[in-house]
Amino acid sequence: EDGITVGELAEKIGQTPANVIKVLFMLGTMVTINSSLDDEQVELICLEYGYESKKKVVVSEINFEEIEIVDDEADLVSRPPVVTIMGHVDHGKTTLLDSIRKSKVVDGEFGGITQHIGAYQVEVNGKKVTFLDTPGHEAFTAMRARGAQVTDIVIIVVAADDGVMPQTKEAVDHALAAGVPIVVAVNKIDKEGADPERIKGEMSELGLMPEEWGGDTVYCNISAKKGIGISELLETLTVVAELADLKANPKRYAYGSVVEGRLDKGRGPVATLLVQNGTLRSGDPIVVGTAFGRVRQMLDDSGRDLKEAGPSTPVEITGLNEVPVAGDKFMAFETEKTARHVGEERQKAKQELDRGVSSAMSLDDLFNQI
Ligand code: GDP
Ligand code: MG
The ipTM is 0.99
* Residue 267: HSE in the Cβ half-sphere, 13 Å Cα cutoff: 17
How confident is the prediction along the chain (370 residues), in pLDDT tens digits per residue?
467 889 888 887 778 888 888 888 777 778 888 888 887 788 778 777 766 543 332 232 222 223 333 577 888 999 999 998 989 999 999 999 999 988 765 544 554 445 577 889 999 999 999 998 765 555 555 555 554 578 899 999 999 999 999 989 988 988 888 888 999 999 999 999 899 999 999 999 999 999 999 999 999 999 999 999 999 999 999 999 999 999 999 988 888 888 889 999 999 999 999 999 899 999 999 988 888 899 999 999 889 999 999 999 999 999 999 998 887 788 888 888 878 887 787 777 667 666 654 444 444 444 443 3
**Nearest-CA neighbor of 213 among 223, 221, 222, 203?**
203
Q: Is 187 in the pocket of ligand 1 (CB under 6 A)?
A: yes
Q: Which of ligand 1's atoms lies nearest the C-alpha of 96?
A: 7
Question: What does pTM read for this prediction?
Answer: 0.77
- Going from the Cα of 145 to the center of ligand 1, the distance in angstroms, rounded, reads 28
Annotated ligand binding at 133? The verdict is: yes
Residue of the CA atom closest to atom 2 of ligand 1: 90
- Going from the Cα of 76 to the center of ligand 1, the distance in angstroms, rounded, reads 39
Ligand lying closest to the C-alpha of residue 96? 1
- Going from the Cα of 159 to the center of ligand 1, the distance in angstroms, rounded, reads 8
Q: Is 134 in the pocket of ligand 1 (CB under 6 A)?
A: no
Q: Is 224 in the pocket of ligand 1 (CB under 6 A)?
A: yes
